Structure 1
Amino acid sequence: MADLLPFALAPRGEPSRRMAYASPVFALLLTLAFGALLFVLLGKDPVAALKVFLADPLKDKRAIGEVLLKTVPLVLCALGLSVCYRANVWNIGADGQLIVGGIFAGATVLWFDVPGHTINGTVVLVLASLAGIAGGMLWASLTAALRDRFNANEILVSLMLTYIAQQAMLYVVNGPLKDPNGMNFPQSKVFSPEFLLPNLLPGSRLHAGFAVMLVLVVLMTVFIFRSFAGYRLQVGGTAPLAARYAGFSARRSLWNALLVSGGSAGLAGAFEVTGPIGQLLPSISPGYGFTAIIVAFVGRLHPVGAVFGGIVMSLFYIGGEMAQSRLGLPSAIGWVFQGMLLFFLLACDTLIENRLRWRTRTA
């Protein structure tokens, strides 16, 4: 009977699936190995340099808090991107959606942050978070509308909208939301303390947004793997013909995926401006939305995996900054590690896929 099957994968599929989940581990080990070689070529002690990257960012409670703080925007963006990529919708513009979410959230806080205000700070934070979600969804809806109406490529559209979002941020911090007492710097005024997210870990800057992020990881896991809506999205992405036969709407999947992704990235932007930054600045994101693409794939497009991917990327961010101050290396060394991780992840995935195909042909 097995000889009649077109693909003899039944006894072999499970080991290959395990290899696919082990691929990020292999990629990380290769990244560290080649990173050590890079440090040698730069004339640095590889053991000491890797210690700066991996150990020093975790040396005490405050340092751990900084690592977890950076995981918040990375994981929130990666959660939405995972939904998009499972639905075969290639959203590359999470960074722009984060920025617009930050603008909406910051404008909401500034609306209430006036002398003599009587509204509760918690209420304002909730409203700012909802405004951030709405801003991210609005920006993602532009991509959805252009793809839906004109069949525009969502990769190019979402990417170009990111640069427009950056210009929109420059406009608001130099125009309507500019701090009149800011000595002509492009920034809004600093938010009042009651309009900032409460601290979650004493002695660090980790805020309550981290707890919200963990709740959303659970909710997104349920949505993707335990809901009919998530099932529709995945079927539409992996088997569009089967989805069409079952009556699933490709248009609906497109809109749902992008709105979920945009809302999640917008919430990340809201948490940035009401958390560690505390105001609107031209650079509220050092590229979190783009790095989240790597986080999503390192996490195997799984919400729980995104948390581990976010921690690794956060270590690379902070490790790059520490390498600049302690080793005299350019801060871009962190981006080099991120690029190597993505390269080796793609290489490992390709090798595993080709191995599976080879075994299929020889079965």
Structure 2
Amino acid sequence: MAERLSFPLRLELRGAPSRTMTYLSPVIAIVATLLLGALLFLALGKDPLAGLKVFLIDPFNGKRAISELLLKSVPLILCALGLAVCFRASIWNIGAEGQFTVGALCSGAMLVWLDVPGHGVSGGMGLVLMIVAGVIGGALWAAITAFLRDQFNANEILVSLMLTYVAQLLLMWAVNGPLKDPNGMNFPQSKVFSSEFMLPTLISGTRLHIGFAVAIVAAVLMAIFMMRSLRGFSLMVGGVAPHAARYAGFSARSALWVSLLISGAFAGLAGAFEIAGPIGQLLPSVSPGYGFAAIIVAFIGRLHPIGAILGGLIMSLLYLGGELAQSRLGLPSAITGVFQGMLLFLLLACDTLIDYRLAWNKKV
């Protein structure tokens, strides 16, 4: 009988990881990402120091650059806030991108309907209606995942992910059909919205809008909800110890619906802010992948709402650095995705090595 081959190393569970190491893991992953990024620049024939400068220093070069950094972080923070709630409840919502898209679509449809001469709706009321439409649209799209998981025990990872592509096709249909600008030279886009329906800016001369302040306030409120409320506590207990949650009378079904609806609402709000802020109209490319990038943001922030702010700023830095690397260093657009992928991989590796250690298999 042939002897079974075994790998000489195995993963051995450590004791309970220290809180310090848990929070140091993202820092180690970020530093490792930058070191690998320097090697990547070198392999591409670019000066590693110049490449890192484009990613780390140039996005802070002046008021306008900093405002763009903060602006880019708004959808990332908002999507990550909702995902953090889901992940803490062990509900693996991977479809924030789709919920973002549907939120943008519903908000855009609302603005197209409102932005008609003589409609009689003020700019302030129009913004409120636009935001409500985005929040409801994102929440309803997440509710599809909750319903299928609740009624048919469908895997929420696959359902939420596949719904993302359905949402993108729905957006393509809308901008090529009922929401298409009749004077848009046949491009798939809505008309440019009036300035009265645009979000007010926080800093004059920049594009940074009030959505950034809303994201910060939302992070604080979500921290209070998750850490200081009974409902937030029940979600966290249900994710960590589902048997204990059932014994305490916490409903797993309620946790499913609440976490997914909150997540969808935040993603929809992010989509509404995007079309009423920097974009100003509805386009097929409304998102460069904010919903997927927000997954990394949530884990960088250790699934904590305040940590999502820091994670959003770091991911925003990678987005802007990637754009600058294209224009100044002649690198391909995929450089942003490469850095995001490296960061996610290294973050998962650091988290794994905090919980486990490598050990030699003993020969029998």
Shorter-chain TM band: over 0.9
Distance 2:324 2:334 in 1: 11
Distance 1:142 1:346 in 2: 29
Residue 201 (structure 1) shift? 1.3
CA contact (8 A) 1:61 1:203 kept: no
1:245 maps to which residue? 247
TM-score (norm 2): 0.93
Candidates 135, 138, 148, aligned match of 1:136: 138
Deviations 1:123-153 (A, max 9, x none): 1101110110000000000000000000000
Amino acid at match of 1:182: G
CA contact (8 A) 1:273 1:284 kept: yes
1:111 maps to which residue? 113
Deviations 1:62-85 (A, max 9, x none): 001111111000000000000000
Residue 203 (structure 1) shift? 2.0
2:328 maps to which residue? 326
2:294 maps to which residue? 292
Distance 1:27 1:181 in 2: 49
Distance 2:159 2:120 in 1: 42
Amino acid at match of 1:275: G
Residue 109 (structure 1) shift? 1.1
Residue 354 (structure 1) shift? 1.1
1:93 maps to which residue? 95
2:318 maps to which residue? 316
Candidates 168, 171, 189, aligned match of 1:169: 171
Residue 118 (structure 1) shift? 2.4
* Length, aligned pairs only: 346
Amino acid at match of 2:263: S
2:128 maps to which residue? 126
1:208 maps to which residue? 210
Alignment gaps of 5+ in structure 1: 1-8, 359-363
2:306 maps to which residue? 304
Candidates 73, 79, 93, aligned match of 1:77: 79
1:66 maps to which residue? 68
Alignment gaps of 5+ in structure 2: 1-13, 360-364
Distance 2:55 2:70 in 1: 15
Amino acid at match of 2:193: F
SS at match of 1:276: helix
2:263 maps to which residue? 261
1:181 maps to which residue? 183
2:7 maps to which residue? none
Residue range with higher mean Cα deviation, 109-118 or 296-305? 109-118
1:224 maps to which residue? 226
Distance 1:200 1:274 in 2: 14
2:339 maps to which residue? 337
Distance 2:203 2:337 in 1: 28
SS at match of 1:88: coil
Distance 2:147 2:60 in 1: 44
* C-alpha RMSD of the superposition: 1.3
Matched, 1:273 2:285: no
